[in-house]
Structure 1
């Protein structure tokens, strides 16, 4: 009877930490990774994920000065002509029907994307800080004249701070992101790799991963370390319990 109680106690001691480990793992899995104040993980929305497009800007000498490989999704609120009220529409940018152009200067680079026979014009402006050798997306503007729009849509923000990278390196982010531009416009980005400055030829420089990707890799490490600690605690509890049981037999 005494031996049976000891076995049951040991089983309970093993089972409880394992249950705790499972709950801890589930908790980590359901908590979204922290984000920077400017960039947040984008929710899954319809339509489906947009196709990634290759976008190129060449300088005055004909060589590439800006490269971008990314999927883009426009989230726009506008006044509907048919419904006579404000509606929200989500539209994927289709690379096959999108033309890229732009310009490159010493401290700024512009990427213009034009679709639907020039009815949609999306412009990204990147700025370079020559002191720190850091670049970022500083401005976004969108001009659109879709069939159901009651009036021409235009949104612009010249004080953004997204997609930060280092001169000579490309910016990479596999995670989906939402770039908030104005109350009526946000842009969802998918699997972004871009480089607006310091290109060598027509290839990306070494990639710098975004904070969202780093946080996504950190969570499994934390969960693994927590589980390893719990296993160690269970093992120590087992050894201590076994030692005490042997000591009890010797006393009898």
Structure 2
């Protein structure tokens, strides 16, 4: 009697995992961008070539006694739309801040902390606020003033009603992935490899990090894919054992 041999569903299972991994990656990595105000001009904007990722800089603010009251480590990229004096129309320019050319200063109060970064004709200001009741802090203000060579007039933008970089007192906020902080219609800030702590610093080290959703999603993808692969291994193993048992049964004399 011809032995019965069952084909293993390995190829179909492997194809399923590949499709699952691609689908999960696409779903987690695609996020709707924050809503930005509609442009008030109908003149087409001409974006400049995007520079490479900015270098990560360390920016600390100290109290009068010399201890750190605000710590920040991040790469920063300015996305600005202004009227070009040479082209006589709005242009979009993306500019990196260079840590070795940037001076930092600031101040700290009980429920407010400010970080000011200056590079040539550019000044970028961060304002953090602390809710002492909930023990939560966030970035509520960003301001930029700049006068670059091709600007027809000095540029200024600010917003003090923001709700970014939310963390808990005594902890740092971390976001390794690139994120965009929309400030005004003509100004947004891109951050890279960011870690910041504006309150509750103990010594000269960041507190335990609270990671952003972008980082959590990147960690979740390999966990889900790994679980799917483990499930596939169990299915293939079970199918192999069942097929082997039936194959052996085919040799029995009837």
TM-score for both structures, normalised by structure 2? 0.86
2-structure distance, mates of 1:164, 1:38? 16
Matching of residue 107 in structure 1 with residue 111 in structure 2: yes
Aligned match of 1:72 in 68, 76, 86? 76
- Structure 2 equivalent of residue 206 of structure 1: 208
Q: Secondary structure at the match of 2:94?
A: strand
2-structure distance, mates of 1:89, 1:31? 30
How many residues get paired? 241
What aligned pairs does 1:166-177 form with structure 2 within 5 A after superposition? 166-177=168-179
* Uncovered stretches (5+) of structure 1, i.e. residues with no partner: 40-44
What per-residue deviation string (whole Å, max 9, x for no partner) do you get for residues 113-151 of structure 1?
1111xx211110000010111111111011111111112
- Structure 1 equivalent of residue 15 of structure 2: 19
**Cα distance, 1:34 vs structure 2:** 6.7
**Cα distance, 1:242 vs structure 2:** 2.9
- Structure 1 equivalent of residue 95 of structure 2: 91
- Whether the 8 Å CA contact 1:98–1:115 is kept in 2: the answer is yes
What per-residue deviation string (whole Å, max 9, x for no partner) do you get for residues 30-53 of structure 1?
4444769869xxxxx831111111
Aligned match of 1:216 in 196, 215, 218? 218
Matching of residue 82 in structure 1 with residue 86 in structure 2: yes
Q: Secondary structure at the match of 1:10?
A: coil
- Whether the 8 Å CA contact 2:28–2:221 is kept in 1: the answer is no
2-structure distance, mates of 1:99, 1:114? 5
* Uncovered stretches (5+) of structure 2, i.e. residues with no partner: 36-48
2-structure distance, mates of 1:96, 1:218? 36
1-structure distance, mates of 2:137, 2:106? 17
2-structure distance, mates of 1:212, 1:31? 12
Structure having the higher helix fraction is 1
2-structure distance, mates of 1:231, 1:15? 12
- Whether the 8 Å CA contact 1:113–1:122 is kept in 2: the answer is yes
- Whether the 8 Å CA contact 1:35–1:212 is kept in 2: the answer is no
2-structure distance, mates of 1:226, 1:164? 33
Q: Structure 1 residues 243 and 177, CA, compared in 2 at 3 Å: closer, same or farther? A: same
RMSD: 2.4
Matching of residue 51 in structure 1 with residue 55 in structure 2: yes
Structure 1, 209-218 or 138-147: larger mean CA deviation: 209-218
**Cα distance, 1:57 vs structure 2:** 1.4
What per-residue deviation string (whole Å, max 9, x for no partner) do you get for residues 55-114 of structure 1?
121223443211111110011111111111111111000111111111111111011111
Aligned match of 2:236 in 219, 234, 237? 234
Q: Secondary structure at the match of 1:225?
A: helix
Aligned match of 1:60 in 56, 64, 67? 64
Structure 1, 17-26 or 161-170: larger mean CA deviation: 17-26
